Amino acid sequence: APAQMSRSLQVFRPEGVAPKIKLDPRSREKSMEQIQEATRTLEQVATQEPAPVTKKVRSLQPRSLEAAPVERQLAARKVARRTAVSRSAIVAQRDANAVMLDTLAKYKMNAEVTLSREGQMVVQVGGADPTYFNPEDASRPELSFLAIDQGKGCSNPDDVEAIQADPALATDCIIQDLKKSGQFDYVEKDYIFENQFVRRPKPSTPPTSSTVGDNVGSDTGTETTPPTTVTAEVTPNDPLWGLQWNFKPNGEGDGKSRGGAGFQEFWTKQGIEGSTDVVVAVVDTGLQMDHPDIKDSPNIAPGWDMVSDPRMGNDGDGRDPDPNDPGDLCNPAVPGAADSFHGTHVAGTIGVAASNNGAGVAGGAWHVKIVPVRALGKCGGRLSDINDAIRWAAGLIPAEAADGSEVWNDNPADIINLSIGLFEYCPASLQDAIDAVTDRGVIVVSAAGNARIDTAYYAPGG
């Protein structure tokens, strides 16, 4: 029997920001009608979008319009970032859907396809549950996402019965056929990414007993040495500051920490703790909006939940304007397993936490504006969701409201943080998304993998 289909395949939404269609080779005529209707929807969007702006404006940097009013600067940046819907991308997706329908007919399977304004297409085939990450977690091991990700290729594309019964094999065979069609720039799996933590290195020697404060300002000068000018060290008054080893200067001894990033030195020497002009988007698991050091923080800007699958969302729905993190625990049966709240940790380190306010922790940039974009949920995050999160964060594409209307990021990011990882070469679609935003002047910062291996084998760091 054919592999069990995802419940989401029952959805047909030809209208909206990202038209979604169902390809069923058993109803070819109806499928072709859906393709045409979705094409007309994208064409209508193309006629309503503003005309493409010049390359010079597209590359607009945050301070290119310093003399202009703030409102004009932001409006110009927002328009400059937007991706215009091109006729060629619309036609290419229409033709690609027809090729995809033929491929599905070969294997007697159906699929759901989500279109986009930039030409990327997300195809869901089979019934793999993303919340069954490991084979041992699933009632049918072949339905785990790890099994899909680690498929062993399509050695016999003519064995239709075996392909229908094995989602991992079906995924490999369909990808192989679509690549051979010549209709696509790239075809790849919708990989699952996980978050990345940094762990503090163990000290090689015990710290000395003196403190930094013991010697500050003690040099009054001698006959041969002029008095030393000492700048008061910037130290936030947050009570947990003493535990934030990663902000201390790198090294060993008084006031230092192995693996420290030197934030305190930077604050002191530069005389600045962060700028309200800088917008950082954190693409991660979202934020704990009720966290005591976050809920009243002036640094939070409106974000978005880009987790499309309700099973991974863990909050009862798909994409919506609420980037709150309800937890990402994958398998509660694993001893010691717990929700990571990784996005809260990362955004707090960057600066979403209210700093120097006598509560909680301090952030690296005290006044920076943080846009939380939730792309990882229970058991990780889909590659396709991460790609859309990157583009939305930078202001290239809109999200979609419940009524189907467009929702653009009102605070296009200057910097996008990706503390996520996949033990693979960087997927082409992810590189495509990163290239698209860096072309608009956005800086993308990603985790190196934390595994002490060459980043070439780790995405997106490599």
Q: What is the pLDDT of residues 264-285, one digit of tens each?
A: 888 888 877 878 889 999 999 9
Does the pLDDT at position 14 exceed 80?
no
Burial of 320 (0-12, 13-18, 19+ CB in 10 A): buried
Per-residue confidence band for 259, with pLDDT thresholds at 50, 70 and 90? confident
CA dist 146 and 168 (Å) reads: 9
Residue 460 preceded by cis peptide, ω within 30: yes
pLDDT at 209 over 60: no
- The residue-averaged pLDDT of 433-461 equals 85
Better-scored residue on pLDDT, 458 or 39 = 39
pLDDT mean over 305-321:
91
**Rounded Cα–Cα distance for residues 315 and 40 (Å):** 33
Over pLDDT 70: what percentage of the chain? Answer: 76
Of 3 and 410, the structure prediction assigns the larger pLDDT to 410
Mean pLDDT of the chain: 78
Does residue 151 have a pLDDT over 70?
no
Give 33-64 pLDDT, tens digit per residue: 999 998 888 888 777 765 444 433 334 444 45
Higher per-residue pLDDT: 349 or 50? 349
- Which residues are within 8 A (CB) of 155 and not within 5 positions of it... i.e. 6 or more apart? none
3-state secondary structure of 407: strand
pLDDT of residue 442: 95
Is residue 154 very low, low, confident or very high in pLDDT (cuts 50, 70, 90)?
confident
* pLDDT tier for residue 373 given thresholds of 50, 70 and 90: very high
pLDDT confidence bin for 130, thresholds 50/70/90? very low
Residue pLDDT, tens place only, 18-36? 788 889 988 999 999 999 9
In the predicted model, is pLDDT for residue 193 greater than 90? no
Q: What is the mean pLDDT of residues 241-262?
A: 86
Q: Is 211 helix (H, G, I), strand (E, B) or coil?
A: coil
150 pLDDT higher than 60: no
Distance CA 21, CA 37 (A): 9
Average pLDDT over residues 365-394: 93
Residues 6+ apart with CB under 8 A from 290: none
Q: Which domains does the chain have, with CATH numbers?
A: 7-49+84-189 (no CATH), 195-200+268-457 (3.40.50.200)
pLDDT digits (tens, 9 = 90+) for 395-430: 999 998 888 888 999 999 999 999 988 878 888 999
Among 71-85, 160-174, 275-289, whose mean pLDDT is lowest?
71-85
Whether residue 390 contacts residue 409, with contact meaning beta carbons closer than 8 Å, is answered with no
Arithmetic mean of pLDDT, 164-187: 87
Residue 99 has a pLDDT of 92
**Is 70's pLDDT higher than 80?**
no
For residue 231, what pLDDT band results from cuts at 50, 70 and 90?
low
**Mean pLDDT calculated for residue range 190-216:** 50
| Nearest of 246, 283, 325 to residue 444 by alpha carbon | 283
Half-sphere exposure of 337 (CA within 13 A, CB side): 11
Q: Is the predicted pLDDT of residue 299 greater than 60, yes or no?
A: yes
pLDDT at 359: 80
User: Which residue spans within 225-290 are E strands per DSSP?
Assistant: 279-284
- Distances in Å between the Cα of 103 and the Cα atoms of 28, 108, 177, 310 are 12, 9, 7, 28
**Does residue 84 contact residue 52 with C-beta atoms inside 8 Å?**
yes
pLDDT at residue number 144: 44
